[in-house]
Amino acid sequence: MVRLHKFLAEAGVASRRAGEQIILAGRVAVNGEIIRQLGTKIDPRRDHVTVDGQGVRARRKLYVALHKPRGCVCSRKDEFDRPTIYELLPKEWDSLYSVGRLDYDTEGLIFLTNDGEFALRLTHPRYEVRKKYVVTVEGRVDEEALKNFTRGVVDHGEKLKAEKARWIPSHRSRSTVELELTEGRNREVRRLFESQGATVKRLQRTQIGKIKLGELKPGKWRALTEPEIKSLLG
């Protein structure tokens, strides 16, 4: 069972708030009966819903993992006409939107969906969904910098903080560090390194929750499995 205004929102008819107004206006019927009561619940599998006499069907929920390549944006349209991640998906999936964002020069795992509850669960700080990043910088990042990452640093009035930070063996002229974060502030990883005088050369998100980037190639996508979706919502 699902609340009627939520069903209308998930079907793409209107936002939840606008859906409430449509119901109050007497424009929605369930099994031929006009419904004006907010909070009414329906069974999308059995009940027939119409708006202004037109049938409304539940939209199939999609959950996609994409390996965002470097050199594209997460906006559907870009003012500088740069490539977008949506060009990598089937055209019929025009209802999908990204769960959070990765900036133009950042690569790695990102989810797309048409499920607002799923997106909220993964992006709101209160759920503390952990995300892992592998960062390559020129020169050496010392132990004190790693401690600062986990203690937290203040940048432009915002506290930036990693839950974990560790070295990954790499070439002598460069440092590779894995960071684990629970928040997604704007350019947070890059700003953490900039606060320590280090410039990021490569930044890749490798994991969200329990879902790893794995062998997914840049520019390629795959559908999340039911167990993966449940693990993210659990």
Please give the Cα distance from 187 to 222 (Å, whole number). Answer: 26
Strand-strand pairing, 107-113 and 200-208: parallel
Provide the CA 198 distance to its chain's centre, in angstroms: 27
- Selected catalytic residue, list 78, 81, 103, 142: 103
Task: Please tell me the total number of residues recorded for the chain in this structure.
Answer: 234
103 carries an active-site annotation: yes
Place of tokens 């509850």: 117
Token pair 């999340």 is at which residue? 224
Amino acid symbol at 139: G
3-state DSSP: the chain helix, strand, coil percent, rounded to 5? Answer: 25, 30, 45
DSSP one-letter string for 70-139: TT-BSSSS-TT---BGGGGS-TT-TT-EESS---TT-EEEEEEES-HHHHHHHHSGGG---EEEEEEEES
Roughly how many angstroms between the first and final C-alpha of the chain, as a whole number?
20
Q: Which residues are catalytic?
A: 103
